[in-house]
Structure 1
Amino acid sequence: MMQVFIWLLRLIVFLLFICFAAMNSEIIVLHYYHERSIEMPVSVALLLFFALGVLLTIVTASKNKGKK
């Protein structure tokens, strides 16, 4: 029963991500380093930076866990 609940929760989260991406499909330009830039949808930029934040948190937490 718990497996069904977990898969249902995953499906709901996935559908929310799809709706979020569809509603935020406007193109933005990210400018960086020496006049270079990248064009991408707002949803991709937000999810990319969210994923980078999660990755940084995991790396930092694993380094701090080893010090104890």
Structure 2
Amino acid sequence: MMNLVAWLFRIVVFVILAVFASQNSQPIMLQYTIDQSIELPLSVVLLIFFTLGAFISMIFIRCQCSTSD
């Protein structure tokens, strides 16, 4: 029963994120140097930075746990 609830939760989150991504598809320009830039949809940029933040947080948590042992 718990497995079914977990899968239903995943499906609901996926649908919400898909709707969010479709509503935020306007392109934005990221300028990473003075003369270089890249144009991506807003939802892709948000996904990239969310993933990067989660990855950095996981690294810091992992390092903090290993130093306390």
TM value normalised by structure 1: 0.96
Match of 1:56 in 2: 56
Gaps of 5+ in 2: none
- CA RMSD after TM alignment: 0.7
| Deviation of the 1:34 alpha carbon | 4.0
5 Å-filtered alignment, 1:3-18, equals 3-18=3-18
Q: How high is the sequence identity, in percent, across the aligned residues? A: 38
Matched residue type, 1:25:
S
TM value normalised by structure 2: 0.94
CA distance in 2, matches of 1:27, 1:42: 6
Gaps of 5+ in 1: none
Matched residue type, 2:43:
S
Q: Runs of at least 4 residues of structure 1 off by over 6 A?
A: none
5 Å-filtered alignment, 1:1-68, equals 1-68=1-68
**Greater shift in the superposed pair: 12-21 or 34-43:** 34-43
